[in-house]
Amino acid sequence: MTIDRLDAMRTFVAIVEAGSFSAAAKRLGVSVPAISRRLSGFEERIGMPLLHRTTRSVECTEYGQMYFDRATRILTEIESVELELAGLRHAPAGLLRVSAPSVFGRTFVAPVIPEFLNRYPRIRVDLSLVRDAQGGADAADAAIGLGTPSVRNEDKGCRTLGTFRQVLCAAPDYLRRAGTPDNPRDLAHHDCIVESASEAASTWAFKHGGEEISQHIQGRLACDDAEAVLNAALAGSGVARIPSFQVRDHVRANRLAVLLEAYEPPPAAMQIAYTRLGPTLPKVSAFVQFLSSHIPQERMGL
């Protein structure tokens, strides 16, 4: 069977970014068996395995990681050319609705909007900063999401802007009082600051030596605002899990200490889902291109 290389490349990248065959199938709008056949045929053609498969997740082999890095850049370039050509059909103009998680939006998006407006004087921007990492995606022309946003139909495109770490951290003052955890099990004896009071938020996921670890945590503070969680951690209220771009400066200034790095889950994707069909395309294309070139990946890490 002849396998289209570009189609196989997109399938492989979707599997890695989505984290499973079923999630990739939903993202691409095909069946799980079809995804499996594409990958198996592709691996057979190149003569080496690209993924380690388990019942719950997939993980790149050494060759797979090398291919993923190159393939992501190639697909981004192809998409950039397509967006640029499509955007040239009409001058970008009109109201552009953009949504982003609140902290990320204040840190990376809002500061560059004035430059974007200067470059495209016929565009107006309605920027919505939301608490939910995926909130506002359906109503927006372009929605930044932390993690993998759900692209529900063929009218939506998606581009990865970069990756960030979910960092476990606490203030030195808290660690002097409560001690420093050596492994996830120790968190059962610590005050942990959770993002909400829901049952799902009371379990933190870790990974160590290929093993996935789930640890139930508890604490006296639950809060659904990312900035309030950070401030509580800085004040010594307990251990918190916070995106690396939010704690970067505090870690460097020794106001927060990073914990359990050896157990840290893989970096999460930061992506933008956008409208790619219809009359809104030029303004959306212009924004996707602009934001992609103005997100400094080095500021997302530590």
- Residues 124-172 have pLDDT tens digits of 999 999 876 555 556 789 999 887 655 555 567 888 888 889 999 999 9
Per the model's pLDDT, the better-predicted residue between 34 and 230 turns out to be: 230
Dist CA 287 CA 35 (whole Å): 31
Evaluate whether 133 touches 242 at the Cβ level (below 8 Å): no
Dist CA 187 CA 182 (whole Å): 9
Evaluate whether 94 touches 296 at the Cβ level (below 8 Å): no
pLDDT given at position 204: 93
The answer to whether residue 67 scores a pLDDT higher than 50 is yes
| CATH 3.40.190.10 matches 91-161+267-299 | yes
Percent above pLDDT 70 for the chain? 85
pLDDT, average across residues 242-246: 92
The answer to whether residue 178 scores a pLDDT higher than 90 is yes
Q: Do domains 91-161+267-299 and 166-263 have the same CATH topology?
A: yes
In terms of average pLDDT, the best of 2-6, 10-14, 116-120, 269-273 is 116-120
pLDDT, average across residues 234-262: 95
The answer to whether residue 77 scores a pLDDT higher than 90 is no
For the chain, what are the domain ranges? 5-81, 91-161+267-299, 166-263
pLDDT given at position 197: 56
Phi then psi dihedrals of residue 62, to 5 deg: -60, -45
- Domain 5-81 class, CATH top level: mainly alpha
pLDDT given at position 2: 45
Is the pTM here over 0.75, yes or no? Answer: no
Taking Cα atoms as reference points, which of 266, 181, 195, 192 lies closest to residue 226? Answer: 195
* From the candidate CATH numbers 3.40.190.10, 3.40.640.10, 3.30.70.1890, 3.40.50.150, the one assigned to the domain spanning 166-263: 3.40.190.10
Burial class (CB in 10 A: 0-12, 13-18, 19+), 257: middle
Write a three-state SS string for 155-221. CEEEEEEEEECEEEEECHHHHHHHCCCCCHHHHHHCCEEECCCCCHHHEEEEEECCEEEEEECCCCC
pLDDT-derived band at 1 (thresholds 50, 70, 90) equals very low
Dist CA 198 CA 222 (whole Å): 9
- Residues 280-300 have pLDDT tens digits of 678 888 899 899 888 877 667
Poorest-pLDDT segment among 7-11, 154-158, 190-194: 154-158
What tokens appear for 279 in the block? 């009359």
Residue 267 per-residue DSSP state: P
